[in-house]
Amino acid sequence: MRRTLIAAILMGLTSAVAGATVTAKLGAGSKLWIEGDSTLHKWASDATKLDASLTMDGAALASGLSAQAPAKLTLDVPVKEMRNRERSGAMDKNVQKALKADKYPDIVFDMSAYKLDAAAGTISATGQLSIAGVTKPQTVVAKYVQKAGRIILDGEQPLLMTDFGVKPPTAMFGTIKADDRVVVKFHVELEPGAGAAKTGR
């Protein structure tokens, strides 16, 4: 009888751990920005706000990542919160217009799977990237480190605006034209916590 009771308790504990889920949110140091070029000069726009949430099977964030436990991550960038580093309001408006911000206010990446390369210290995340109403599959590779229970990711992703139906913005009656190719760069800090978190650069 005693052995049966102990076995039942152990099975219950095992089931509870197996069914555990950990959530994570963005740390305050997280940032994302877009760099590009034009016929006049290089440019960059910072995301002053980011929303993100991660849900992972397991009891802890770091151990779940090491075990490559199933996880879902959503990263949301409000287009109207992008700010040009030259503090050009006209450039901000041109970018918002090109990205159809009134109709599609957010750039969203929904991760469906990831692969960890511990030896190389990299992680590749596969998911769907939605920009200006167009959604395409995307795989993003980032360097990662684990520190004090957090996961820190650094990486960059080149994109062509026209792949998402976006016409590169222009200025000065079309005399200044942005290049089609842009590079999205990011420093993301994920820390234990429930729900989505907002952060600004």
pLDDT at 15: 37
Residue 72 lies in a domain: yes
In a domain, 11, yes or no: no
Q: Does some domain include residue 67?
A: yes
What's the confidence (pLDDT) of residue 8?
Answer: 37
Asked if the structure places residue 14 within a domain, the reply is no
Q: Which domain holds residue 58?
A: 20-199
Render pLDDT for 138-149 as a digit per residue (tens, 0 to 9): 999 999 998 888
Establish if 52 belongs to a structural domain: yes
Judge whether 64 lies within some domain: yes
Alpha helix (H) residue ranges in the chain: 2-18, 61-66, 89-98
DSSP state of 161: G
**Which CATH number does the domain housing residue 163 bear?**
2.40.128.110
Q: Calculate the alpha carbon distances from 201 to 24, 25, 33, 86, 186 in Å.
A: 19, 16, 9, 15, 11
The pLDDT mean for the chain works out to 84
- How many folded domains does the chain comprise? 1
Q: Which tens digits make up the pLDDT trace of 102-138? A: 999 999 999 999 999 989 999 999 999 999 999 999 9
Confirm whether 12 is domain-assigned: no
How high is the pLDDT of residue 201? 52
In a domain, 61, yes or no: yes
Q: Is the pLDDT of residue 196 over 80?
A: no
Q: Backbone phi, then psi, for 92, in 5-degree steps?
A: -60, -45
